[in-house]
């Protein structure tokens, strides 16, 4: 291989030297063209001179690159250039190039030539999961549900719920909207709702409340016509680590199941359910790691999930008489 490269580098040098010698021969008078052709020959000699220099230079560069330290230098320079973050960001505007490079890297990383086959998991990952990687997320999601028999409504529970988490930036934004909602047929009533925001560096929360149908102007009633409220966060997009707390009360039929699911990708979930001692709880988990189980005890159940949750992940639970 090295002999072939040396041969290919030597041929341009020899050819270039030959061209230069011809030019020198003409200029020294060893061969003089006849008068009618002399202007054309002079122009041709200039072109031949430049062409000869170009061939010599090309061959010299080829030979130079064969020296180990120069070869390594130019190779590393090339690799550094195409892996430079600024270069990648510039090329990243070309989605087809990004997709192609990502697939090539995955093939190399996993050693699988057909990793992008339509029935494989990589295709599912690209379509359903990858989009969440660059999205803002929620951290330290904690919920406490306290369930008691309703004194005013027969065959119903009166529920108090407290939810807290932090809205974290990825890039330049946090979640666009937060809140709590339920379908119209899930609850009997919701007499109380309060949402508190505390930006980092501030000690006093900003409170937005609703009671018996009257609510703060910043809150948006459930746009689907159900229960609950949303709060747009346009004016808080630069507030990384924005603390959120939601307190609410609602009345629900005893035969209804409870559920909570993530609106955004979330890091960690801790949910505590306190209930009458004469009830037995059953918990269904909608998470990727099914080995993490809830810890029930009389009158209480705790589910601690330290891993990531995707939108739609969460838990559901219901009760039966002990």
Class at the top of the CATH hierarchy for domain 137-321: mainly beta
Model-level pTM? 0.71
For the chain, how far is it from start to end, CA to CA, in angstroms?
81
For 146-201, write each residue's pLDDT tens digit. 999 999 999 999 999 999 999 999 888 999 999 999 999 999 999 999 999 999 98
String of DSSP letters for 26-77: HHTTSS---GGGHHHHHHHHHHHHHHHHHHHHHHHHHHHHHSHHHHHHHHHH
Instruction: Give tens-digit pLDDT for 15-70.
Output: 655 655 565 555 555 555 554 545 555 556 565 555 656 655 655 566 555 555 54
């Amino acid at each position: 291989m090295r002999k072939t490269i040396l041969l290919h580098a030597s041929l341009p040098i020899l050819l270039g030297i030959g061209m230069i010698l011809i030019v020198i021969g003409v200029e020294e008078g060893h061969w003089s063209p006849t008068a009618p052709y002399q202007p054309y020959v002079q122009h041709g000699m200039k072109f031949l001179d430049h062409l000869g220099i170009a061939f010599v230079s090309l061959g010299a560069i080829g030979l130079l690159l064969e020296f180990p330290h120069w070869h390594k230098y130019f190779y590393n320079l090339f690799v550094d250039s195409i892996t430079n973050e600024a270069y990648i960001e510039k090329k990243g505007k070309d989605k087809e190039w990004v997709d192609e490079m990502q697939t090539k890297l995955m093939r190399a990383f996993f050693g699988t030539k057909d990793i992008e086959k339509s029935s494989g998991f990589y295709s599912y990952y690209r379509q359903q999961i990858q989009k969440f990687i660059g999205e803002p997320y929620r951290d330290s999601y904690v919920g406490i549900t306290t369930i008691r028999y309703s004194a005013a409504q027969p065959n119903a529970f009166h529920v108090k719920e407290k939810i807290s988490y932090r809205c974290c930036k990825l890039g330049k934004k946090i979640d666009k909207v937060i809140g709590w909602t339920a379908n119209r047929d899930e609850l009997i009533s919701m007499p109380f709702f309060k949402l508190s925001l505390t930006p980092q560096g501030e000690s006093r929360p900003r409170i937005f409340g609703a009671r018996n149908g009257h609510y703060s102007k910043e809150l948006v009633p459930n746009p689907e016509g159900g229960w609950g409220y949303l709060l747009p966060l346009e004016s808080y997009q630069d507030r990384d680590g924005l603390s959120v707390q939601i307190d609410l009360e609602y009345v629900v039929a005893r035969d209804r199941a409870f559920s909570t699911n993530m609106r955004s990708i979330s890091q960690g979930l801790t949910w505590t359910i306190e209930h009458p001692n004469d009830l037995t709880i059953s918990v269904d988990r909608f998470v990727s790691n099914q080995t993490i189980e809830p810890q029930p005890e009389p009158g209480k159940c705790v589910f601690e999930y330290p891993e990531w949750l995707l939108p739609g992940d969460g838990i559901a639970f219901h009760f039966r008489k002990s």
